[in-house]
């Protein structure tokens, strides 16, 4: 039997962090996505245990300041694209500059230097991932998705989707529909 699962990545990660911090008996406050403030001095032993417990989930503690800022850029982009409350109509450059407190030029140069890709490309990848989720969950039409993600047209969304995935959104929809039909036949 196969099931489809919908989840909120941010909530799942925060929950894992909270559970692991409590298991290690570390007094803390979660400030934002991927940011924790320790409310006590943490022994090397507790820190090692905490680091290992996160490792099994593919989560690691970042210590390099550039890497921390890159992660904050990625988190801000994911929040901008996936969060229902965030207004995507704001230009991404303005959103990132205001949220992170650096000029967009600095953020863009740093991001490209460290990740070997542009912020714009990362935003496109996140938008396409969100589009795939919305298609899989059959929540919105392509027109509604294009509007929600601030594309100028469905054609623009379709073009980026095809460039990224190799499929048109319609072809992707057909594949998902076919998989669901096959799965439901196998269940019955």
Residue 60 within a domain: no
Say how far apart CA 21 and CA 28 lie, in whole Å: 7
- What average pLDDT does this structure show over 120-131? 94
Q: Please, what's the b/e burial string for 86-121 (b: 16 or more CB within 10 A of its CB; e: otherwise)? A: eebeeebeebbbebbebebeebbebbeeeeeeebee
Model confidence at 73, in pLDDT bands (50, 70, 90)? very high
Task: Report whether pLDDT(86) > 60.
Answer: no
Same domain, yes or no: 76 and 49: no
> Both tokens of residue 94?
């303005």
Range of the domain at 14: 9-55
| Residue 85 pLDDT | 58
| Residue 182 pLDDT | 84
Same domain, yes or no: 118 and 76: yes
Mean per-residue pLDDT over the chain, rounded? 86
* Tally of domains within the chain: 2
Task: Report whether pLDDT(31) > 90.
Answer: no
Report pTM. Answer: 0.67
Task: Report whether pLDDT(142) > 80.
Answer: yes
| Residue 117 pLDDT | 93
- What average pLDDT does this structure show over 4-25? 83
The owner of tokens 């496109």 is 124
Task: Report whether pLDDT(79) > 70.
Answer: yes
Residue 2 within a domain: no
- What average pLDDT does this structure show over 12-27? 88
Q: How many CB atoms lie within 10 A of CB 24?
A: 19
> Both tokens of residue 99?
């949220």
Model confidence at 103, in pLDDT bands (50, 70, 90)? very high
In this prediction, what percent of the chain has a pLDDT beyond 70? 94
Same domain, yes or no: 37 and 102: no
Model confidence at 84, in pLDDT bands (50, 70, 90)? low
Residue 1 within a domain: no
């Amino acid at each position: 039997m196969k099931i489809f699962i919908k989840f909120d990545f941010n909530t799942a990660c925060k929950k894992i962090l909270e559970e692991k911090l409590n298991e290690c008996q570390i007094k803390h406050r979660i400030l934002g996505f991927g940011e924790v403030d320790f409310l006590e001095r943490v022994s090397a032993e507790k820190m090692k245990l905490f680091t290992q417990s996160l490792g099994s989930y593919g989560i690691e503690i970042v210590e390099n300041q550039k890497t921390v800022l890159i992660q904050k850029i990625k988190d801000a982009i994911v929040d901008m694209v996936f969060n229902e409350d965030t207004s995507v109509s704001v230009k991404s450059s303005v959103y990132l500059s205001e949220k992170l407190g650096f000029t967009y030029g600095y953020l863009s140069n740093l991001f490209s230097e460290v990740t070997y890709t542009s912020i714009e490309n990362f935003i496109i990848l996140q938008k396409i991932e969100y589009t795939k989720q919305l298609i899989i969950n059959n929540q919105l039409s392509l027109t509604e998705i294009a509007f929600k993600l601030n594309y100028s047209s469905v054609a623009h969304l379709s073009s980026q989707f095809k460039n990224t995935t190799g499929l048109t959104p319609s072809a992707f929809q057909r594949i998902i529909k076919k998989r669901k039909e096959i799965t439901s036949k196998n269940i019955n």
